[in-house]
Amino acid sequence: MFGATVADSTAPAHDHSVAARAVDLRKVYGEGDAAVAALDGVSVNFAAGEFTAVMGPSGSGKSTLMHCLAALDTATSGQVFLGDTEITRLDDKRLTTLRRDKIGFVFQAYNLVPTLTAQENIELPLAIAGRKPDQAWFDTVIDTVDLRSRLSHRPNELSGGQQQRVACARALVSSPDIVFADEPTGNLDSAASGEVLSFLRRSVDEHHQTIVMVTHDPIAAAYTDRVVFLDDGRVVDEIREPTADRVLEQMKMLSSGAVAGTPAEG
């Protein structure tokens, strides 16, 4: 019954502007009576060069979706495509390379290796692959996150906002096809959140980066191009060109259960 309301997100399969795509994705935890469907048939596309927010009540499956899309977890059924590659078929070795070369991550916390400096952390995925960063791009990223003066510091010498910016820089410096961020501003105050979000926004605008971000915060969602709402493991709604007020309104409707049949407006 929800399928109809989100028909437009099950877009054509070979659209080149689609960076990542989930098709009827299901993820079940536990067995028998205790089974919980964290994802219950999610089909969603993420267009290249777009900044998408994923929102929904706690436990609605946002993180699970993110993990499945980012090749960190395997789905129970359904498919995940990254560009044209179906990652649900790949083995651990391939997935590792894929994460290293094609995907960037920012987690809510604990994004950095404590023994490495900020610069070493940023270069980590490249260094693991045995590649040198492209100097011009590295400089661009560093300047965009405004971290040049902090490069030789260890994580424990950086503020939370700085740490998350380092994490963002790390996610971007290898020029991945897509960046996933799971509540990247969850632990930050509003000023630090602003820094991180405007940086993400800029990397989409200026460098056509594709970003998918989970957030709870309507203000954070307002930085994005599109918001996808999840509830109970299903996509229930989406908004384009969101503003904080509209998102907040939508969230209220979702939590009161009134949204169920209401299609998104405009």
Partner 1 sequence: MLRLTVRNLLARKLRLALSGFAIVLGVAFVAGSFIFTDAMSGAFSGIIKGTTADVEVAPKGANDFDSLQDRRTVPAEIVDKLAGLTEAESVHPYNQQQGVYVIDPNGDLVGGSGPPGLAFNYSDTVAITGEPILSLTEGELPSGTGEIALEESTAERAGYHIGDEVELVTAGRNPTMTATLTGLMRFGSAGGLGGATLVLFDTQAMQELFFNGEDVYSGISLTAAEGVSQEELRDAAQPLLPPGVRARTGDDAAAANEAGIEEILGFINTFLLVFAGVSLVVGTFLIINTFSILVAQRSRELALLRALGASRRQVNRSVLAEALAVGLLGSTIGIAVGYLLALGLKALFAFFGLDLSGASFPITLRTVLVSYAVGLVVTMIAAYLPARRAARIAPVAAMRDDVALPESSLRRRLIVGAVMVVAGVGLMVLGFAGEGESGLALIGAGMLAILIGVALMSPVLGRPLIHGLGAIYRRVFGTVGSLATENSLRNPRRTAATASALMIGLTLVALMSILGQSASASTDKAIRESLTSEYVVSNVVGAPFSPKIAEQIRELPQVETVAQFRTAQAEVDGSFAFVGAVDPNGFAEAFDLPIPGAVTAVFRPGTVLVEASTAEQGGYEVGDTIPLELQGGTVKLELTATYPPGALPANYLVTPDTLIKGGLEPLDSMLFITKAPGAADADLRSAVDKITSQIPTVTLKDPQEFAAEQKEQINLFLYLIYALLGLAVIIAVLGIVNTLALSVIERTREVGLLRAVGLSRRQLRRMVRLESVAIAVLGAVLGVLMGIAFGVALQRAIADQGIDVLSIPWLRLAVFVVLAALVGVLAAVLPARRAARLNVLRAITTE
Ligand X SMILES: Nc1ncnc2c1ncn2[C@@H]1O[C@H](COP(=O)(O)OP(=O)(O)O)[C@@H](O)[C@H]1O
Q: Which residues contact 197 (CB under 8 A, 6 or more apart)?
A: 185, 220, 223
Among 29, 35, 110, 139, binds ligand X (CB under 6 A): 29
Q: Which residues contact 171 (CB under 8 A, 6 or more apart)?
A: 104, 105, 106, 179, 181
CA 243: distance to chain centroid?
19
Among 41, 59, 73, 248, binds partner 1 (CB under 8 A): 73
- Amino acid identity of residue 84, one-letter, is D
Which span sits near partner 1 by CB under 8 A: 33-41, 108-116, 140-148, 197-205?
Answer: 108-116
If binding is defined by CB under 6 A, does position 184 make contact with ligand X?
A: no
If binding is defined by CB under 6 A, does position 218 make contact with ligand X?
A: no
Token readout for 150 is 């902090």
Tokens 């820089």, residue?
169
Residue 266 CB neighbours (<10 A): 6
Instruction: Transcribe 119-151 into DSSP letters.
Output: HHHHHHHHHHHT-PPPHHHHHHHHHHHT-GGGT
Nearest to 196 by CA among 217, 226, 174, 175: 217
What are the φ and ψ backbone dihedral angles of 107, each rounded to 5 degrees? -95, 175
If binding is defined by CB under 8 A, does position 125 make contact with partner 1?
A: yes
If binding is defined by CB under 8 A, does position 90 make contact with partner 1?
A: no
If binding is defined by CB under 6 A, does position 83 make contact with ligand X?
A: no
CB 132 to partner 1: min, Å? 11
Among 63, 119, 185, 209, binds ligand X (CB under 6 A): 63
If binding is defined by CB under 8 A, does position 88 make contact with partner 1?
A: no
Among 5, 43, 52, 64, binds ligand X (CB under 6 A): 64
If binding is defined by CB under 6 A, does position 234 make contact with ligand X?
A: no
CA atoms within 13 A on the CB side of 104: 30
Residues of span 194-223 touching partner 1 by CB under 8 A: none
Which span sits near ligand X by CB under 6 A: 59-67, 138-146, 148-156, 160-168?
Answer: 59-67
**Which of partner 1, Mg ion, ligand X, none has residue 96 at its interface (CB below 5 to 8 Å by kind)?**
partner 1
If binding is defined by CB under 6 A, does position 60 make contact with ligand X?
A: yes
- Amino acid identity of residue 248, one-letter, is L
Among 36, 113, 128, 129, binds ligand X (CB under 6 A): 36
End-to-end Cα spacing for the chain: 21
Residues forming the site for partner 1 (CB under 8 A): 63, 67, 72-73, 92-93, 96-97, 99-101, 105, 107, 110-116, 120, 124-125, 127-130, 156, 170
